[in-house]
Chains A and B, each alone.
Chain A
C-alpha cells in the first residue's frame, strides 16, 4: 500500500459526459501528479500541483482540468469525454520536490476510465 488513495477504481461513462477522479496523497506529501496510461503505453504526465498551486503542465487536454484543495487532496476533471480518453489515470504524490533532495513519487492504484 503506497498510501495514495484514488477513487473510484473503475468508471464507465458515455461520450460527451464529465467525470471527476479523486486522489488523496500520502500523509505529509505536498505535491500531487496526474498521469495517463493508455493501452499498455507509457505513463504520460498530465499535471502537477504543489501545495495547492499548479506547478507543471504536461500533455493535458483543454477538456481536462485539475485542482488541489487546502487539505491537499486533488481532483482531475475530464469533460466532453471521447472514446480515446479511455485509459488508466494514476495519481502520485511526493514530499516537497523543491528541497533539492532526491525524492520519489508514490503512485495510487489508478482509476480505469472506460468511455463508451
Chain B
C-alpha cells in the first residue's frame, strides 16, 4: 500500500520555465510534508517542507503547495535551471514516525 505516490516518473522542462512536481498521499494522519532532491550517487538533500496547518511555503525559487482536502501537494520551481535536474522525492511524516517517501520524479531541465 503506497501511502505517498508520485505518479510522474519523469518531467522535462525548458530552462527558465516553471517545473511542477506533484505528489499524492492517502494517510490523513500525515501532518508534515517534505521535498528532497537527489543527485546520482549522492544522498537525498532536504529542499523544502510544509506543515499541514499551512497551504503554501516559499523559499526562493521553490514553492510547495498543500491541498489537504485533495491530499495533494506540489513543488513549483521557477525559473527552472539546468542545475535543478535531479530526482525529486516527496515525503510525509507524522510526529514520531518515519518519513514515507514517494517513488520520485526525475526532472530534466534543458538549456
Contact = CB atoms under 8 A, between A and B. Distances in A.
- Do A and B associate with each other? yes
B14 interface: no
Interface of A: 2, 4, 6, 33, 35, 40-43, 45, 48, 55-56, 58, 90, 92, 97-110, 112
Contacts of B97: 48, 56, 97
Contacts of A41: 103-104
A92 B103 CA distance: 17
B96 A105 contact: no
B99 interface: yes
The 7 closest A-B pairs by CB, nearest first: A107-B43, A42-B103, A43-B101, A98-B96, A104-B46, A48-B98, A100-B95
What's the dominant secondary structure at chain A's contact region? loop
B65 interface: no
Given A43-B89, A102-B32, A104-B49, A109 B43 contact: yes
Contacts, number: 64
Contact of A45 (B44, B45, B101): B101
Contact of B96 (A42, A55, A104, A107): A55
B98 A45 contact: yes
B100 interface: yes
B65 to A, nearest CB: 17
A98 B95 contact: yes
Contacts of A92: 43, 99
Contacts of A42: 89, 101-104
B107 to A, nearest CB: 14
A104 B100 CA distance: 12
B10 to A, nearest CB: 11
B8 to A, nearest CB: 13
A56 B102 contact: no
Contacts of A109: 42-43
